[in-house]
């Protein structure tokens, strides 16, 4: 006879969050219930309520875990153009499916909460943490490739915003030539004109 050991701590939390993600992907926000998640995780609703008193708390914990488990690698090629093209390709490869899944499955959450994807992103992002593009631009300035002057975060982050727009509009991976156009035809000329 095999004794079943009770999961506790991080092991239990990992199982719950994995189950919550599966439920969200399969059933969307309307199906994202304590009952469905507890059943999928093989635990009870009170266990979930103790950790996450509100359904939104559990949703944010789930999205946070999934989002940050798909970190976008920052290339270091020695020049800004190639770093940013590599970064956008990494983002496209690692986040297109995730981003489209989240946006589609959370429409009811956005409607119910009155929030939007930008607000959700801001809630998940650690305050004061630089974006990948901000880090790449800072690195280019340290190398002397760009002047070390203040730049608008909107200008610095434009390539990722345009990539995300392409992802949302097509719900497909972004072609390599579009990524190159974003960097060469839009962003680098703009970045250099405001420096």
Q: What is the residue-wise DSSP string for 172-183?
A: SPPPHHHHHHII
Dig out the tokens for 34 from the structure: 């304590």
- Domain 72-193, CATH: 1.10.357
Q: Which of 86-125 are b and which e, b meaning 16 or more Cβ less than 10 Å from the residue's Cβ?
A: bbbbbbbeebbebbebbbebbeebeeeeeeeeeebeeeee
Please write the tens of the pLDDT for every residue from 58-88. 999 999 888 877 788 999 999 999 999 999 9
Residue 3 pLDDT > 50, yes or no?
Answer: no
Nearest-angstrom CA–CA distance, 132 and 113: 29
pLDDT of the residue at 195: 58
User: CATH 1.10.357: which residues of the chain?
Assistant: 72-193
Most confidently predicted of 2-11, 119-128, 129-138:
129-138
pLDDT at 6: 67
Q: Which residue has the higher pLDDT, 94 or 37?
A: 37
Question: Tell me: the pLDDT tens digits for 124-165?
Answer: 877 778 999 999 999 999 999 999 899 999 999 999 999 999
Indicate the fold that domain 9-66 takes in CATH.
Arc Repressor Mutant, subunit A (1.10.10)
Confidence at residue 160, expressed as pLDDT on a 0 to 100 scale: 94
CA quadruple 52, 54, 55, 58: dihedral sign:
negative
Output the pLDDT for position 1. 42
**pTM for this entry:** 0.80
Please, where in the chain does CATH 1.10.10.60 lie?
Answer: 9-66
């Amino acid at each position: 006879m095999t004794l079943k050991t009770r999961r506790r701590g991080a092991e239990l939390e990992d199982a719950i969050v994995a189950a919550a993600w599966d439920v969200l992907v399969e059933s969307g926000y309307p199906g994202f219930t304590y009952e469905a998640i507890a059943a999928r995780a093989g635990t009870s609703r009170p266990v979930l309520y103790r950790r996450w008193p509100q359904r939104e708390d559990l949703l944010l914990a789930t999205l946070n875990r999934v989002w940050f488990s798909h970190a976008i690698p920052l290339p270091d090629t020695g020049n800004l153009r190639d770093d940013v093209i590599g970064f956008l390709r990494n983002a496209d490869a690692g986040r297109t499916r995730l981003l489209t899944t989240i946006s589609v499955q959370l429409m009811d959450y956005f409607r119910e909460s009155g929030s939007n994807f930008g607000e959700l992103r801001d809630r998940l992002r650690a305050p004061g943490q630089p974006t990948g593009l901000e880090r790449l631009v800072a690195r280019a300035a340290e190398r002397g490739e760009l002047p070390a002057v203040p730049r608008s975060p909107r200008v610095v982050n434009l390539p990722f915003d345009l990539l995300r727009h392409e992802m949302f509009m097509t719900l497909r991976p972004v072609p390599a030539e579009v990524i190159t156009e974003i960097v060469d035809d839009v962003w680098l000329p703009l970045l250099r004109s405001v420096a």
